[in-house]
Amino acid sequence: MEIVTVDIGGTHARFAIATIADDGTITLGEPETLHTDDHASFQTAWEDVRKSRGGKLPDAIAMAIAGPVGGDVIRFTNNPWIIRPALVKEKLGVTRYTIVNDFEAVAHAVARAPEDQFLHLTGPDRPLAESGTLSVLGPGTGLGVAHLWRDGKGGYHVQATEGGHIDFAPLDQIEDAILARLRKRHTRVSVERVVAGPAISDIYQTLAALEGRPLIEEDDIAIWTRGMSGEDSLAAAAVDRFCLSLGSVAGDIALAQGGFGGVVIAGGLGYRIRDTLLKSGFAERFRAKGRFAELMAAIPVKLIVHPQPGLYGAAAAFASEHM
């Protein structure tokens, strides 16, 4: 059967047609990406996509949403759209739907993706465990976190979380300074404030202040661009610091969830900085858990390189629920 699969984040909404075969194999069509800022609501975005595809879409939809999905009204963490599940069929003209948290969808993708869809980052270079718990997290506009449990027989269960909102724990003087800067604006500083895409601005400004440079507010995309290219040494230092903090947070999530069968980094930003992660202090920080350093060193850490894990995973969640 064919369904519309949608991955809605803080900045972008991605749409694709997914085909689910009788044996559960999922094939994605070419995705279409819209900016959430360009549309007043999800329904107007849906209508634009339907118009662009000749006025007709399949009558089933799978939605991966960046935020909690329980309750009568779904509000996004980093964009102003709202969705009322009770009205989905009426408003969109569909007969069946599935709504999952965006990183719940990514965890479904991790559970089903073949081994060649993963890039090894650190730890033992072996496949993710077929039984036990795997932790899944990834930076984008926010920080998504989920985990999945495998039964060793091909079955699995996915659990969405809001782990991106646990408290940030600095480990050195630079991270103390980052926390101090963020505390001026936020009573409580979560890890999402430090290891999500927009956080590069605060990291960069903190490093600039430590060096006595003038503070010039800049777009986070510009800092990422200069840091990744290496043309700006301070921006490059900010990117490296981001990778260090991501390693620390990934290790903490694995400890909290019992993700000893493997940790997977996902998200659009994670994919874009994959080469930088390999050369950074990410791995060292992931292992740096004191008495548990030996345990952490035994965990395979990988990055999912599937181009659209949110879309793929949403379709997988639909298949699990309806088929």
318 and 246 within one domain: no
pTM of the model: 0.88
Q: For all residues of the chain together, what is the average pLDDT?
A: 93
| Average of per-residue pLDDT across 86-92 | 95
* Sheet order of strands, 118-122 included: 118-122, 301-304, 263-265, 131-139, 143-151, 156-160
* Residue 149 lies inside a defined structural domain of this protein: no
Question: Regarding beta strands 118-122 and 2-8, do their DSSP bridges make them parallel or antiparallel, or are they unpaired?
Answer: unpaired
CATH of the domain at 261: 3.40.367.20
Q: 66 pLDDT exceeds 90?
A: no
Per-residue confidence at 192, pLDDT binned at 50, 70, 90?
very high
In a domain, 157, yes or no: no
Compare 78 and 299 and report the one with higher pLDDT: 299
- pLDDT at 11 (0 to 100): 83
Q: Same domain, yes or no, for 106 and 168? A: no
Domain annotation covers residue 155 = no
Identify the CATH number of the domain in which residue 11 sits.
3.30.420.40
300 and 175 in a single domain? The answer is yes
| DSSP at 77 | S
Which is more confident, 264 or 79?
264
The parent domain of residue 75 ranges over: 2-110+306-322
Number of domains in the chain: 2
The pLDDT assigned to 228 comes to 94
